[in-house]
Structure 1
Amino acid sequence: MIEISSKPISPESIVNRIKTSGSGCVAVYVGLIRDNSHGKRVASVEYTDPRGTAKAGLEKIAGEIRRQWQVEGIAICHRIGKLEVGDINFLVAVASAHRQEGFAAAQYAVDRFKELMPTRRRRHTAT
């Protein structure tokens, strides 16, 4: 499941969609908008996909994971639009038979996302 959406991300709904009867764990990473960045107060963050390539970037990451780890299911979801402090902006969920594969694959997905950063981010500071 790969998703770029302006709608709120529901971790429970995503976990229920990717787990299988063979899943022994679902490792989940939930990224949030925090209230500060580099010593400045953050009011909101806006994510855009001006080139329309964000979904392809997430699909690339999912493909790399499937080639490297044995996973039952994978979800990589990124929210675009204007997000407020505390909103979920990114979620990775990996269902696997064993926790080691799930955690390793989830961490890889987060690290690769940060490396590729398929969307444009603009922070709005508080006054």
Structure 2
Amino acid sequence: LFDSVREHLELGYKSIRIQTAVPGIKAVYGVAAQAQASGERYDYEPAGRGAFPQEEDWDTRAYLRHLPTVFEAVRNEFGPEIPLLHDGHHRMTPIQAAKLGKALEPYDLFWLEDCTPAENQEALRLVRA
């Protein structure tokens, strides 16, 4: 992750999206460092790989415990100035998303994308409340 952040900063990016694997979870859509079925470093559309939807080995509680430690490490390595972003890929309930937002407050999260399913605008209102 640090190598990816450095690479993007060297390319001139002013904001950095922080995505990470979660210990104990085999595959997570949206994490570029993983080898994908397509052979590419990053699979932009896992649903298009076959006749059936892709299944993830997912654990929201593990994700919610792990992500703040990642943001802490990134801030310790790169300092407070870089705007940090994260994409939740619609995986959380409103309460889980609000907990994540609170947990990331000490690391000055600039943007949290798709924390709840986009079609459920009431869920996003609950997160914001």
With normalisation by structure 2, the TM-score equals 0.31
- From the two aligned structures, give the one with the greater helix fraction: 2
